Amino acid sequence: MRIFARSCRALLAVFLVLTTLSVVGAAAAQDHQQAQEEQEQKERPVFESEALPAGLPIEIEAYAEFRKGGIFISDGQRVRIWVGTEMIGEDVPNPADVKLGYRFKVEGVRISEGLIVADKIESEPNVREFLSGSVESMANNLENAWAQVGYVYQDEGDHQVVIGDIIDYDDRVVRVERIMNNLKPPYLAPGEIRMYVVEAELWNAVAMPNGSIWVNTGLIDALSDDELAIVLGHELAHYTHEHARKDTGASWWQQTLASVGASVLLGLMPGGTARDVGQVAALAGTRMWTAGYGSDMEAQADRVGTRYAFEAGYDVYAGPEIWERFRERYGYMAYDNETLLEAHVKPDDRIENIEREIEINYRYELAEISGTAKAR
């Protein structure tokens, strides 16, 4: 009996020792995980910017793209509706009448949390202007021409330069389509955005005004999902915010249509041949593939594209990081017309602009998501 009792006490002691070791090990593992998380928080960049004064007047003019209760997302920014918000216009007399995709003009004040509190909102359905139809038809012709031959090319006067083959299907195609499906605002129709992957090493991506978006494999292979989401969001914003119409509609597009004739472009003029249409498509291809937009529209595409990425759950800190990588690859000026998103905007300026956007528009949201008392 004494032997049995001693055995029980020994087993109990062993059990208590093992339990203690297990608790200590679990606590150590938890401490290690917490230390790792704190280190990751410290490694996150903290962007220096001036504190936002309460009640800073601001105006934005874009589209209503997301809605979260009493907050609209427009131009990449959060707009708070309150009882004192004045709705202007007969078509949309109440905030509840604003549908996603509607034009959205806001006058208000920005508060320290980054929210824009709307004093006035003018909203109406977005109706494409007449030139847009011709622009889209030109882009459709070009998309069809490239898809038919199976490669992307541009005309260099007396010869044709092949940029790269169009990849029908592989893991990279699946990847960019998955990311784009996550990024798209909810008002876009199914099939409105079409992704094409081009076998080319240059870091380049292009959005056409008809909803086709072209991205090179060199860019896809080099970037993480977060970084690629920032780039694809930028290109998507060029389409959703109709930058082709607004930026080049009054200049290059009109000159091209005037010199060639819209009916020839569309293949409808008697005597207009497939060769005529092909020449116009090649000219359009050169312009689309090598030229960016004005600095204001590039800034808006950065701003809105960052919001698309954030709403889809991607890391917005990838925005400055991708442009740092771009600067390392192509230099500080990065005006080469064969590189990513060329628009005569220095990478340093883009990095500064995106950092400021994160500081103003995301740090409080990121803090809420992470459950911390202050932003990263």
Question: Terminal CA-to-CA distance of the chain, rounded, Å?
Answer: 64
Quick one: tokens of 90?
Answer: 């007969």
CA torsion, ordered 29, 32, 37, 43, to nearest 10 deg: -160
pTM of the model: 0.74
Percent of the chain with pLDDT over 90: 40
Confidence of residue 258 (pLDDT cuts 50, 70, 90): very low
pLDDT at res. 47:
36
Q: Span 229-236, mean pLDDT?
A: 95
Asked if residue 278 has pLDDT above 80, the reply is no
* 175, HSE (Cβ side, Cα atoms, 13 Å): 18
Which pLDDT score is estimated for 16? Answer: 46
Q: Which two tokens stand for residue 373?
A: 């008392």
Per-residue pLDDT tens over the stretch 283-332: 444 444 444 567 788 889 999 999 999 999 999 999 999 888 888 887 75
Phi, psi at 50, each rounded to 5°: -70, 140
CA pair distance 219, 237, nearest whole angstrom:
18
Report the pLDDT averaged over residues 213-226.
95
The rounded distance, in Å, linking the Cα atoms of 243 and 252 is: 13
Residue 244 near residue 208 (C-beta atoms within 8 A) = yes
Task: Give the per-residue pLDDT at 90.
Answer: 81
For the stretch 78-107, pLDDT in tens is 999 988 899 998 889 999 899 999 999 999
pLDDT over threshold 60, residue 25: no
Q: What is d(CA 166, CA 184) in angstroms, rounded to the nearest whole number?
A: 23
Nearest-CA neighbor of 226 among 291, 292, 314?
Answer: 314
Contact between 203 and 336 under an 8 Å Cβ cutoff? The reply is no
Give Cβ neighbours of residue 106 (< 8 Å, ≥ 6 apart): 58, 59, 60, 61, 74, 79, 116, 118, 120, 121
What are the backbone dihedrals phi and psi of residue 169, each rounded to the nearest 5 degrees, phi first?
A: -165, 125
pLDDT in tens, 28-79: 556 655 555 555 444 433 333 344 445 789 999 999 999 998 899 999 999 9
More confident residue, 18 or 323: 323
- Given pLDDT bands bounded at 50, 70 and 90, which one contains residue 133? low
Q: Which pLDDT score, from 0 to 100, does residue 268 have?
A: 35
Both tokens of 359, joined, read: 């500081």
Confidence at residue 247, expressed as pLDDT on a 0 to 100 scale:
61
Q: State pLDDT tens for residues 158-214.
A: 777 888 999 999 999 999 999 999 999 999 999 999 999 999 998 889 888 889 999
Among the listed residues 102, 150, 148, the one whose alpha carbon sits nearest the alpha carbon of residue 124 = 102
- Please tell me the predicted confidence (pLDDT) of residue 290: 46
**Could you give the CA distance from residue 351 to residue 10 in angstroms, rounded to a whole number?**
66
In this model, does residue 233 exceed pLDDT 50? Answer: yes
Q: Token digits for 53?
A: 């004064």
- By CB atoms closer than 10 A (0-12, 13-18, 19+), residue 128 is exposed
Query: Quick one: which of 101, 90, 118, 91 has its CA closest to 67?
Result: 101
Q: H helices then E strands: how many in the chain?
A: 13, 11
Task: Specify the residue for token string 């740092």.
Answer: 324
Residue 18, pLDDT > 70, answer no
Largest CA distance in the chain: 113
What class does CATH assign to 56-124?
A: mainly beta
The pLDDT value recorded for residue 264 is 33
- DSSP state, residue 55: T
Average pLDDT over the chain reads 76
pLDDT at residue 363 is higher than 60: yes
Confidence of residue 137 (pLDDT cuts 50, 70, 90): confident
CB 73 within 8 A of CB 311: yes
What are the boundaries of each domain within the chain?
Answer: 56-124, 131-370
